[in-house]
Amino acid sequence: MSSPTTIAAVKGFRDVLPDEAGRWRDLEDAAARLFARYGCEEIRLPIVERTELFARSLGDTTDVVEKEMYSFLDRDETSLTLRPEATASVVRAYVESGLVQRDPAARLWYRGPMFRRERPQRGRYRQFYQIGAEVFGRDDPLADAELLVMLMRYLEHVGARDTRLELNSVGDARCRPAYRDRLREFGQRELAALCPDCHRRLERNPLRILDCKVEGCRAVVARAPVVLDSLCEPCRVHFDEVRALLDQERVPYVVNARLVRGLDYYCRTAFEVVGGGLGAQNAVGGGGRYDGLVAALGGPDVAGVGFALGLERLAMVAPGEPAAPAVAAVVLPLEPRAVRPALAFATRLRDQGMTVALEPAGRSLKALLRAADRRGARLAFILGEDELRAGRATVRDLARHADRPQALALDTPAPALAEQVQALLGSAP
Ligand code: AMP
């Protein structure tokens, strides 16, 4: 009989193995702690939403909605979608739960997987993870600045290297239409050099040509008029105040007048955190202001501003220190009769909060000690025939390759046992 073939993960979907998952947990824990200082509370959201939520919030001319969503018909023919981002879901939950009335100035943060059917490449996956935050009910520049201070403090706190905050204003419903027209006219003049996608974008949503990735289009776009030159007075004042507040807090940023966010609902403040050494996919995160989105999703006219960070890319710019081996000690039963006392011994230590590995019986002491070494343990407790008879485990110091003179009584009560082991660990090199 031929052996069954292995089954690979789906293209663009990947496993996060323990080494990486440990770092992710630290990054998430740090976000939870730091964001709380700014009044952000965590929200956990469903992964599946009605397709129309994204069609309506992202705008149906965006790449995400046009070609990257994982959508399917449920058995009752409702079109559902694996969320490509979470802002729309946060807004839906904020309105649907009544938070919008109870706590209109809610600040919410989230973490979790997002799904986009993009072309997979280094740093770009079809399932990826984000940490994000949204601040509602505030249209003042202070809200933008506070959010950006929080974001940059967080990046600093987790040790992100070589990142840069890029800032822009994309105007609002008052001044953007005129800019859109200028951009369309410019694009019409340069039509020959633009890709077919951009031809379509010029018709439907000219701003989208600004983040086209095609080389030829990028060269054209480099000469295009910038939205920053078309801001109306209130947008200009808002932008200047955000900058002044960031300057006051000494948050470094560069103004990038060509920065636009891919999604339609952004207005005024738009920003991106760019990481050095990330290659083509260099955005660690981004966000901006989206006044009007809550109303577009059926809620009252409440402002919002937020960001999302990609966890894969964040972990690349903030890899942290390699984790120390977690296992402090191993318990080694040398023979079957030692299995029960070995489990009881290990359980008592684990109950006291220690990380203990327990090896199976029946292997030679040499093999067991090798296994203990591989786990990075510092102490081994050996339970062989002699030890069982004496009621004491031999303590082997794995760094010095020598037995300690003190043996541990197998019936030591839990707290005292943990104390003795801690003392042994404390005196190990
Ligand atoms: P966006 O919602 O497109 O602004 O994405 C925010 C952040 O999520 C980006 O800056 C990336 O760090 C991350 N991100 C977006 N799409 C992907 C992807 N396909 N694979 C990995 N990370 C992504």
Helix (H) or strand (E) holding 286: strand 283-289
Report the C-alpha gap between 338 and 358 in whole angstroms. Answer: 12
171: CA distance to ligand 1 center in Å?
23
pLDDT at 418: 87
Asked if the model's pLDDT at residue 429 lies above 60, the reply is no
Residue 29 vs residue 415, higher pLDDT = 29
Question: Which residue matches tokens 């109303």?
Answer: 295
How far apart, in whole angstroms, are the C-alpha atoms of residue 82 and residue 84? 6
For 66-95, give one letter per residue: b (16+ CB within 10 A) or e: eeebeeeeeeeeeeebbbbbbbbbbbbbbb
Nearest CA, atom 12, ligand 1: 310
Task: Answer whether residue 277 shows pLDDT above 80.
Answer: no
* Protein residue with least CA distance to atom 13, ligand 1: 310
For ligand 1, the distance from its centroid to the CA atom of residue 130, given in whole angstroms, is 8
Closest protein CA for atom 18 of ligand 1: 124
Q: In ligand 1, which atom is closest to the CA atom of 285?
A: 10
Q: Extract the tokens encoding 208.
A: 């989208």
- Of 281 and 32, the structure prediction assigns the larger pLDDT to 32
Measured from CB, residues less than 6 Å from any atom of ligand 1 are 85, 116, 118, 124-125, 128, 130, 262, 283-286, 308, 310, 312-313
Q: What's the pLDDT score for residue 321?
A: 86
- How far is Cα 253 from Cα 251, in angstroms, rounded to an integer? 7
Q: If you take atom 17 of ligand 1, which residue's CA is the nearest one? A: 124
| Residue, of 204 and 342, whose pLDDT is higher | 342
Looking from the CA of residue 261, the nearest atom of ligand 1 is 4
What the chain holds in terms of domains, given with CATH numbers, is 18-174+231-317 (3.30.930.10), 329-427 (3.40.50.800)
Q: From the CA of 284, how far away is ligand 1's center (Å)?
A: 7
- 400 — phi, psi (to 5°)? -90, -5
pLDDT bucket at 1, cuts 50 / 70 / 90: low
Report the distance separating Cα 255 and Cα 242, nearest Å. Answer: 12
Q: Residue 186: which pLDDT band, with cuts at 50, 70 and 90?
A: very high
Mean pLDDT (the chain, rounded): 92
> What is the band of 94 on the pLDDT scale with cuts at 50, 70, 90?
very high
For 48-64, how does the pLDDT look when each residue is reduced to its tens digit (9 = 90+)? 999 999 999 887 777 78
Q: Taking 80 as the threshold, does the pLDDT of residue 262 lie above it?
A: no
Confidence (pLDDT) at 247? 98
Atom 9 (ligand 1): residue with closest C-alpha?
A: 285
Nearest atom of ligand 1 to the alpha carbon of 310: 12
Which pLDDT value is given to residue 211? 79
Q: Is 10 exposed, middle or buried (0-12, 13-18, 19+ CB in 10 A)?
A: exposed
Mean pLDDT of 155-175: 94
- 41-42 and 107-115 beta bridge pairing: parallel
- Mean pLDDT for 96-118 is 97
Q: Hey, whose CA ends up nearest to atom 14 of ligand 1?
A: 310
CB 131 within 8 Å of CB 309: yes
Of 233-237, 261-265, 284-288, 392-396, which range is least confident? 261-265
Residue pair 89/83 in contact by the 8 Å Cβ criterion? yes
- Beta-carbon contacts of residue 17 (< 8 Å; ≥ 6 apart): none
Judge contact between 335 and 347, C-beta under 8 A. no
Which position has the token pair 């710019």? 317
Render pLDDT for 74-87 as a digit per residue (tens, 0 to 9): 999 999 999 999 99
What pLDDT is attached to residue 393? Answer: 95
Sheet bearing 267-275, strands edge to edge? 41-42, 107-115, 127-136, 304-310, 283-289, 267-275, 163-169, 254-255
Determine the distance separating the centroid of ligand 1 and the alpha carbon of 186, expressed in angstroms.
29
Closest C-alpha to ligand 1, atom 15 = 310
* CB contact set of 111 (below 8 Å; sequence gap of 6+): 28, 31, 42, 129, 130, 131, 132, 311
Per-residue pLDDT, averaged over 107-128, amounts to 95
CA of 312 to the centre of ligand 1 (A): 9
CB burial class (10 A; 0-12, 13-18, 19+) of residue 133?
buried
Residue whose Cα lies nearest atom 16 of ligand 1: it is 124
Looking at residue 263, its pLDDT comes to: 67
Determine the distance separating the centroid of ligand 1 and the alpha carbon of 331, expressed in angstroms: 45
